[in-house]
Amino acid sequence: ELKVEQNPLFLSMQEGKNYTIYCNYSTTSDRLYWYRQDPGKSLESLFVLLSNGAVKQEGRLMASLDTKARLSTLHITAAVHDLSATYFCAGEPTTSGTYKYIFGTGTRLKVLA
């Protein structure tokens, strides 16, 4: 059974700093997804990573996938306050044959001015 773990769970960082959120998963996963959730809001899709070595970038966020290490990372460059949110990664079990996600616990990011 696919298990997805994120770390850290909480992250407080200064504006302008760089940091990385890690997402480890336990078994093979077809795809890896990153979502953002603002307090009291729904989940918004950020990245879809389809294969080993995939790298996607949007603004100050960059996501990558290493299927051999069963690891995805979300890198934040020069953080700004607007990036404060909870970030989730989700894996899709290879054997599922569908789009069933297993979510990580989430990383609550707070960017301090």
Partner 1 sequence: DAGVIQSPRHEVTEMGQEVTLRCKPISGHDYLFWYRQTMMRGLELLIYFNNNVPIDDSGMPEDRFSAKMPNASFSTLKIQPSEPRDSAVYFCASSVAGVILGEQYFGPGTRLTVT
Cα separations in angstroms, 53 against 2, 70, 76, 107, 109: 20, 11, 18, 23, 25
One of 92, 107, 109, 111 touching partner 1 (CB under 8 A): 92
Q: Which stretch binds partner 1 (CB under 8 A): 12-20, 33-41, 60-68, 77-85?
A: 33-41
> In angstroms, rounded to a whole number, what is the distance separating the alpha carbons of residues 12 and 15?
10
Told to check if 48 binds partner 1 by CB under 8 A, we report yes
Told to check if 33 binds partner 1 by CB under 8 A, we report yes
Told to check if 43 binds partner 1 by CB under 8 A, we report yes
Told to check if 34 binds partner 1 by CB under 8 A, we report no
Torsion over CA of 83, 88, 89 and 95, rounded to 10 degrees? -150
Q: Which stretch binds partner 1 (CB under 8 A): 52-60, 66-74, 76-84, 98-106?
A: 98-106
